[in-house]
Amino acid sequence: MKQEDKRLLKPSFAIAATLVAVLLLSTLIVTERGDCGESVSWKLRANGKLTVQGDGPIPDYDVKEDPSPFYNRSVVTADLQEGITAIGDNAFNGCLNMRKINIPQSVTSIGAKAFSGCTKLSDVDIDKNNAAFTFENGTLFTADGTSLLFRSQQAGEKEYTVPQGVTSIAEEAFFGNKKLTRIDLPESLTEIGEGAFRGCTKLEKITVPEKLDFSFEDGVLYGKDDTVLLFCAPAAGKESFTAPSGVRTVGASAFSGCKALTSVTLPAGITTVGENAFRGCTKLTDVYFQGTQEAWGRVAGGAEAFAELEDVTIHFR
């Protein structure tokens, strides 16, 4: 009986040994490599570990026109070596499986939307000697605490208070935080980047101190004396919306994900409609512009704003 048991165990040991060997090889085998910038190179191992090394910055990228070499690759952890000086715009944008990134002392700059769409990123390990940035409770700040750059979707809290002292919230800083229902803004805040709350589908309340040049009314966030419409909360469930007459700019991604919206009215004085302002508004069929067709032709971004949506009719005064 004992001999039979040993025979039965032999295949299990063989399988286990094979798995261990595969795992060990995955930490060594480089599946892809390349350059980013003039003096920076990268290599990606089979286990998803990305190593970026060199002397200089990871350059800026454009997701549509010139995507990062890491975009749509299976990056799980990113290890930036000493010598890398900057993380450019959109550098890791769309790295959906990235869970951790190591940032060395030498990094002094992080660009716009560098980690946008990194839905699983929860660990930003910053070298203790790095004087430029800090990562606290799931949030990436500049070391002086004035700029909030990125809030991890894995942080988990339904309510979040932006610390006093923060003066700017970066573009798409809270992108995709689907658990957030409330955000409290500090009195120190002076700037909110475009698309800062894009994809926050459950966000219902943004509290704004009276002294700020922002307001939150009926599920909509405005800035600059109510001339800029920054964000319409999808959770508000608006089926129709009329922008106040003083609105001159609809910010990028402002109505993104408002799936209940069927009609919107825009004032004659509007001058700009930002990129992807109505992306994901799948039920939108009617846009009422309170001006002439000629005036609409002069609205920056107006022609492109509804190009991706089917069956949208634009009505003129």
What is the rounded radius of gyration, in angstroms, for the C-alpha atoms of the chain? Answer: 24
Q: Does residue 130 carry a pLDDT above 70?
A: yes
Beta-carbon contacts of 210 under 8 Å, excluding residues fewer than 6 positions away, are none
Q: With a cut of 60, say whether residue 23 has pLDDT above it.
A: no
Q: How many residues are there in the chain?
A: 317
Residues 6+ apart with CB under 8 A from 56: 37, 38, 39, 40, 83, 84, 85, 86
For residues 263-282, give the mean pLDDT.
Answer: 95
pLDDT for residue 4:
54
Q: Provide the whole-model pTM.
A: 0.88
User: What pLDDT does residue 1 have?
Assistant: 45
| pLDDT value, residue 15 | 62
Average pLDDT, the chain: 92
Confidence of residue 38 (pLDDT cuts 50, 70, 90): confident
Band of the pLDDT at 310, cuts 50, 70, 90? confident
Work out the pLDDT band at 22, boundaries 50, 70, 90. Answer: very low
Query: How far, in Å, CA of 175 to CA of 134, rounded?
Result: 19
Residue 169: pLDDT over 50: yes
Question: Stretch 248-265: mean pLDDT, rounded?
Answer: 96
Listed range (37-41, 141-145, 146-150, 216-220) with the worst mean pLDDT: 37-41
Which is more confident, 275 or 25? Answer: 275
The pLDDT, as a whole number, for residue 30 is: 77
Dist CA 308 CA 279 (whole Å): 8
Q: How far apart are CA 114 and CA 172, in angstroms?
A: 9
Q: What is the pLDDT of residue 21?
A: 46
Percent of the chain predicted with pLDDT > 70: 91
Note the pLDDT of residue 27.
58
pLDDT at 244 over 70: yes
Domain ranges of the chain: 220-317
User: What per-residue confidence (pLDDT) applies to 72?
Assistant: 83
pLDDT at 306 over 60: yes
Band of pLDDT at residue 233, cut at 50, 70 and 90: very high
The DSSP result for the chain, as a single string, is -HHHHHHHHHHHHHHHHHHHHHHHHHTT-EEEEEE-SSSEEEEEETTSEEEEEESEEEPP-BTTTB--TTTTS--SEEEEPTTEEEE-TTTTTT-TT--EEEE-TT--EE-TTTTTT-TT--EEEE-TT-SSEEEETTEEEETTS-EEEEE-GGG--SEEEPPTT--EE-TTTTTT-TT--EEE--TT--EE-TTTTTT-TT--EEE--TTSSEEEETTEEEETTTTEEEEE-GGG--SEEE--TT--EE-TTTTTT-TT--EEEE-TT--EE-TTTTTT-TT--EEEESS-HHHHHTSBTHHHHTTTSTT-EEEE-
Of the two residues 150 and 23, the one the predictor is more confident about is 150
Q: What is the pLDDT of residues 176-220, one digit of tens each?
A: 999 999 999 999 999 999 999 999 999 999 999 999 999 999 999
pLDDT of residue 307: 85
What number is the average pLDDT over the span 10-36? 65
